[in-house]
A and B are shown apart, each in its own frame.
Chain A
Amino acid sequence: MNKLLLGRFIPGDSLVHRLDPRAKFLASFYFIIIIFFANNWASYLLMFLFVLGAIFLSKIKISFFLRGVKPLIWLIIFTTLLQVLFTKGGTEYFSWWIFSITEFGLINGAFIFCRFVLIIFMSTLLTLTTAPLSLADALEFLLRPLRIVRFPVHEVSLMLSIALRFVPTLMDETEKIMNAQRARGVDFGDGNLLQKMKAIVPLLIPLFVSSFNRAEDLATAMEARGYQGGDGRSRYRVLHWQMRDSLTMVVFGLLTVALVFLRQ
């Protein structure tokens, strides 16, 4: 369970770490959109160089990012293979039944592969360099316009930050209960599907019960400290949009221009 890298945060003090979370969030989101505009080798090369540059600026080892790709590698390979085997067009190198390997297929496959890897790199960069709570803050800010349509922005972002805060706590709790039940003779992950599912019950029920208790305690503690909802609250963590954040946006603008230029 601890092998999961997605959503991990590595504290640091690089340029990327210090960027405003809103800037980072918007930039990553924007990057995922414009990656679909890249359609030839030159444009993909540009995107790759850009991402590598960003990773370099974050001062985080590239091995972390490769580990982020690992759990998804089968999905990526599967999608790439589908592209390679079923795209028709250009020179045909090989053909059997409904499968064929063609020039276009290979190129498309390579592009899809690059697209996947780049998107994962970029989102890993976002989560590795941004504390979960500032990410929640950023999201609250960015969702604010939705208040016009009566979307409960404060409530949603409060739930989000509480959820993020309790992910590690619940992981620890799971681990503890799992160990306690293993000590009482439960074999997790042994036997056939039905036995495996049955073995989960002694883990799930205590986990739910403790979540209920925790929620109740937390709600009481929040009320005791005067929480009455989102209206009229001031904030402790204030986000500051700075020069470097605007610059990031400019860089992304330039990237878009270059991309449009390189497109065929």
Chain B
Amino acid sequence: MDITFKEVDYTYQPGTPFAQRALFDINLEIKSGSYTALIGHTGSGKSTLLQHLNALVKPTSGTVTIGTRVITPETSNKNLKPVRKKVGIVFQFPEAQLFEETVAADIAFGPKNFGASDEEGIKLAAKMLDLVGLDETFMERSPFELSGGQMRRVAIAGVLAMEPEVLVLDEPTAGLDPEGRREMMTMFNRLHREENLTIVLVTHLMEDVVRFADYVLVLENGRLVKSGEPAEIFQDTNWLVEKQLGLPQATAFAEKLAARGVSFNSLPLTPEQLAKELVEKAGEVRE
């Protein structure tokens, strides 16, 4: 399911003295089955943009096409549920959205809103709990007695349980320990590969961008300033530093080596690529 933005503008509280423009003339396409990373400063409009992806907000002008559904400023708020079922959003700190008595009921809450029966909901809950790395003993526990990391997993399971076609992740690993972070990101990547889930990831971690994403969108002050594959985006290191977006560690290190005379065809993005390049270089030197 493709998502297309055409000349999308968005203004908060339009027509009031507090009006604030958040998005300017956004044109972009999120292809079905892609893994798109959305990067940019805090306050660059990332979160506003991602709320357009499932019609939580409607553009002030322009159109957003989600699958076959076209969202315009005039679209009514009724009948948006089918769109929301297809595009699941995991918001920042999603553990704040838990409210049911048991973990199972909370995970089943989403599917039941979209018409699943109780048994289907429970079945899905068990499956999703397993997927996010928690065992069955959690099913009947209260979500409020869990640790922060476990709550996060339950919340994410609650979104996955809706079985969306597009999964939008707003800094899903913020505040998790390195191990939890790695597990989460690997799980999303597996869903992307095995279930062909389209993923949109909002993050400040460039390592995750280069490791997982196959397309990158860069936002600045509500404008889409650059888009392309990670290899293109991260070649222009000066531009990135100027925009204060930071480089992946491997790229930063390679750049330092390049300054000392090691020449790369293109700057490596991940430690693996860097190692490979260096091994080749070492081979050349020996010859």
Query: Which A residues lie within 8 Å of B109 (CB)?
Result: 184, 202
Which listed residue (A180, A185, A201) contacts B97, Cβ 8 A?
A180
B10 within 8 A of A: no
Query: Which A residues lie within 8 Å of B172 (CB)?
Result: none
Q: Which of A2-38 contact B (CB under 8 A)?
A: 2-3
Which listed residue (A2, A176, A210) contacts B91, Cβ 8 A?
A176
Query: Which B residues lie within 8 Å of A181 (CB)?
Result: 97
- Annotate A188-208 by CB proximity to B: 1 below 8 A, 0 otherwise: 001000000000011001100
B98 within 8 A of A: yes
A63 in contact with B113 given A180-B96, A185-B81 (CB within 8 Å): no
A227 within 8 A of B: no
Query: Which B residues lie within 8 Å of A186 (CB)?
Result: 113
B254 within 8 A of A: no
B162 within 8 A of A: yes
A220 within 8 A of B: no
A182 in contact with B56 given A176-B91, A202-B109 (CB within 8 Å): yes
- Do residues A173 and B91 form an inter-chain contact, with CB atoms below 8 A? no
Number of residues on chain B facing chain A (CB within 8 A): 29
* A205, B97: Cα distance in complex, Å: 9
Which listed residue (A173, A182, A190, A206) contacts B98, Cβ 8 A?
A206
Number of residues on chain A facing chain B (CB within 8 A): 24
- Do residues B84 and A63 form an inter-chain contact, with CB atoms below 8 A? no
CB distance from B107 to the nearest CB of A (A): 10
B110 within 8 A of A: yes
Which listed residue (B12, B51, B85) contacts A185, Cβ 8 A?
B85
B239 within 8 A of A: no
B13 within 8 A of A: yes
- Do residues A61 and B17 form an inter-chain contact, with CB atoms below 8 A? yes
Q: Which of B162-221 contact A (CB under 8 A)?
A: 162
Chain A residue, CB-CB nearest to B88: A183
- Do residues A185 and B13 form an inter-chain contact, with CB atoms below 8 A? no
CB distance from B17 to the nearest CB of A (A): 6
Which listed residue (B17, B85, B158) contacts A64, Cβ 8 A?
B17
Chain A residues at the B interface, C-beta cutoff of 8 Å: 2-3, 61, 63-64, 173, 176-177, 179-187, 190, 201-202, 205-206, 209-210
28 contacts between A and B (CB under 8 A): A2-B12, A2-B13, A2-B18, A3-B13, A61-B17, A63-B17, A64-B17, A176-B91, A176-B92, A176-B96, A179-B56, A179-B91, A180-B91, A180-B94, A180-B97, A181-B97, A182-B56, A183-B56, A183-B84, A183-B88, A183-B159, A184-B109, A184-B162, A185-B81, A185-B84, A185-B114, A206-B96, A206-B99
* Given A2-B12, A63-B17, A184-B97, 7 extra CB contacts under 8 A: A3-B16, A179-B91, A183-B88, A184-B84, A184-B159, A185-B114, A187-B81
Complex A-B, nearest 8 residue pairs according to Cβ-Cβ distance, in ascending order: A185-B113, A205-B99, A180-B97, A184-B110, A183-B89, A180-B91, A202-B99, A206-B99
